Amino acid sequence: MTDPVTGFTQPVRLEYDYTPGFGRSRFLRALEQGRIQGERCPVCHKVYVGGGSGACARDGVPCDELVELPDRGVVTTFCVVNLPFAGQTIEIPYVSAAVLLDGADIPLLSLMQEVAADEVRMGMRVEAVWAPEDERKPSMDTIRYFRPTGEPDAPIDDVLRRMRDA
């Protein structure tokens, strides 16, 4: 080999031990049992889901009231991923969507599958596809993805207004 060296590949790698903390641990342990658990703020009555701090970001008070949420809801926004990247395990193009579960006031970020990327739309009704019971862990992977339910679309303007005004 005689060509001059013009570059090299330098992986930058950081390994973290991630500890989810109180609020998110509570959410993840419910997932392991096949439940989606939200929490209601006693002041503004918003229902948060996805495991934040266990407190309301707006009112700064603990959200002690736990709320069982259904595993279905509405796509409020989404992103079509077209770019390949290192470590990618899903065939492109695919869709990441924000799913507002029925009864929640904040969406969950989720993978969409069983639907073509160009068919996903705001207002689409979707449901969770769970890992088999014996593979459920306190992990976001326990919900494999969301897929369309086939129900008529939700009126997206109303959904967005409800999120904003709640």
Partner 1 sequence: MAEPEVLSALHVLEYPYTRSVGPVIGRFLTGLRDGRIAGIRARDGRVVCPPVEYDPVTGEPLDEFVEVADRGVVTTWTWLEQPRSNNPLDTAFAWALIRLDGADTGLLHAVDAGSAENMRTGMRARARWRAERHGHITDIECFEPER
Binding segment (CB under 8 A) for partner 1, from list 20-28, 34-42, 71-79, 152-160: 20-28
Q: Does 6 bind partner 1 (CB under 8 A)?
A: yes
- Per rule CB under 8 A, is residue 12 in the interface with partner 1? yes
Closest CA to 137 of 5, 13, 30, 20: 30
User: Is 133 in contact with 140 (CB distance < 8 Å)?
Assistant: no
Is residue 13 near partner 1 by the rule CB under 8 A? yes
Q: Do the strands 65-69 and 94-101 form a parallel or antiparallel pair, or are they unpaired?
A: unpaired
CA dist., res. 149 & res. 87, Å (int) = 30
Query: Rounded to whole angstroms, what are the CA distances from 28 to 32, 46, 69, 134, 165?
Result: 6, 20, 14, 16, 28
Whichever of 139 and 149 has its CB closer to partner 1, that residue is 139
Across the chain, which distance is largest between two alpha carbons, in Å?
71
CA pair distance 143, 113, nearest whole angstrom? 12
Q: Does 1 bind partner 1 (CB under 8 A)?
A: yes
Taking CB under 8 A as the binding criterion, the range among 14-22, 58-66, 70-78, 149-157 that sits at the site for partner 1 is 14-22
CA distance 66 to 44: 15
Contact assessment for residue 80 and residue 93, using Cβ atoms and an 8 Å cutoff: yes
Window 82-101: residues binding partner 1 (CB under 8 A):
86-87
Binding-residue pattern over the window 130 to 149 for partner 1, x denoting contact by CB under 8 A: --------xx----------
Minimum CB separation from partner 1 for residue 85, in Å?
10
Binding-site size for partner 1 (CB under 8 A) equals 25
- In the complex, the smallest distance separating the C-beta of residue 15 from partner 1, rounded to whole angstroms, is 5
Can residue 52 be called a binding residue for partner 1 (CB under 8 A)? no
Q: Would you tell me which residues interact with partner 1 (CB under 8 A)?
A: 1, 4-20, 25, 28-29, 86-87, 138-139
